[in-house]
Homo-oligomer: A and B are copies of this chain.
Amino acid sequence: MSSNTMVIEEPNEVRVFAPATVANVASGYDVLGFAIDAPGDEVVARFSDQPGLRITNITGDNGKLPKTVEGNTAGVAALDLLRHLGLTDKGIEMEIHKKMPFGSGLGSSAASAVAGVYAVNMLLGEPLTKKQLLPFAMTGEASADGAYHADNVGPSLLGGITFIRSNEELDITQLPVPENLWAAVVHPDIEILTKVARDILPKEIPISTATQQMGNLGGFICGLYNNDLGLVGRSLHDVIAEPHRQKLIPEFYTAKQEALSHGALGFSISGAGPSVFALCEGEENANKVAEVISKVFTDNNFGNQIHVSRINTTGVHVI
């Protein structure tokens, strides 16, 4: 080795956290998502003498995930990166620690995919930037739900509020995040199968519905750029998915009315549900709003978990 060579130390082990995400965000069906501070998934990656990528441990999945690399989104995403780098023979072990429920509407499989590919990238000395990891994370998530979408993977990876112009072209923009914008997320203990949430949507919608949604999407984006939370609030309406998917969530409109009457800027379904979210101005209001939403579910005998946080602007990171 010449004396001029710079030696970049590779760590022996990396532990990362990828946050949960709220997709759709009322007015942005299929094109918007944001990250929250918690919950999220952790992945540990370390070098191993045994060639190839292996998963050595999975916790928090109630035994649902196989330990094959191809059997979960973290493995698929990491393997896709290793293929791209020509390093499939590199000996790497992964541990996956699921710290959020499946099928919650909070981007569980996306968080795992992001954590998996990010952990391996960091272990290798960060050959790619965060943004460059996006297609691998998307491939990982697609292995679980069949759709190649960035609306959960994007914000889990990059943090903040992500706008996706095109999944095919991977054309995404990070929107400005008003400092005082908080999310109140409540996850009721019910199960909605992704297939059911998809099939309940109509195939076609009136043009007038599309333009109404376009108006609200544009208003939401303008509100963020202009730091105008009033406009953000007026724009938080979903006329495409919510009118149909709310049928799968007990007392949805009661919860919505409670949230709005207690000052939430807006309220809708997180992803395909069953989690719901409100956007709020300030921590105090977000806590209050989360509490009244939670009470609606509790009063109807549905257990639920509350997650209140600022919009997470960090995304996946080493812990």
Binds B, one of A23-31, A65-73, A124-132, A252-260: A23-31
Distance (whole angstroms) from the CB of A33 to the closest CB of chain B: 12
Summarize A's interface: helix, strand, loop or mixed.
mixed
Contact B163 A218 (CB under 8 A): yes
**Contacts of A191-213 to chain B: CB distance below 8 A:** 201-207, 209-213
Contact A207 B218 (CB under 8 A): no
Distance (whole angstroms) from the CB of A8 to the closest CB of chain B: 33
Asked if A30 meets B211 with Cβ closer than 8 Å, knowing A163-B218, A173-B231, the reply is yes
Contact A217 B214 (CB under 8 A): yes
Interfacial chain B residues near A209, Cβ < 8 Å: 210
Compute how far the CA of A29 lies from the CA of B210 in the bound complex, rounded to whole angstroms.
9
Distance (whole angstroms) from the CB of A245 to the closest CB of chain B: 13
Distance (whole angstroms) from the CB of A105 to the closest CB of chain B: 18
Contact B173 A215 (CB under 8 A): no
Contact B31 A226 (CB under 8 A): no
Binds B, one of A12-20, A164-172, A261-269: A164-172
Interfacial chain B residues near A133, Cβ < 8 Å: none
Partner of A206, one of B163, B203, B215, B216: B203
Interfacial chain B residues near A31, Cβ < 8 Å: 211, 214-215, 218
Asked if A201 meets B207 with Cβ closer than 8 Å, knowing A31-B214, A173-B222, the reply is yes
Distance (whole angstroms) from the CB of A199 to the closest CB of chain B: 13
**Contacts of A147-177 to chain B: CB distance below 8 A:** 163-166, 169, 171, 173, 175
Contact B29 A222 (CB under 8 A): no
Compute how far the CA of A201 lies from the CA of B210 in the bound complex, rounded to whole angstroms.
13
Which of chain B's residues has its CB closest to A225's CB? B225
Asked if A210 meets B205 with Cβ closer than 8 Å, knowing A173-B231, A234-B169, A234-B171, the reply is yes
Closest 4 CB pairs of A and B: A165-B219, A210-B210, A204-B204, A30-B211
Could you write out 28 A-B pairs with CB less than 8 Å apart? A28-B218, A29-B211, A30-B214, A31-B211, A31-B218, A164-B215, A165-B216, A165-B234, A166-B219, A166-B234, A169-B234, A171-B215, A171-B219, A171-B231, A171-B234, A201-B207, A202-B207, A203-B206, A204-B206, A204-B207, A207-B240, A209-B210, A210-B210, A213-B214, A214-B214, A218-B218, A221-B222, A221-B225
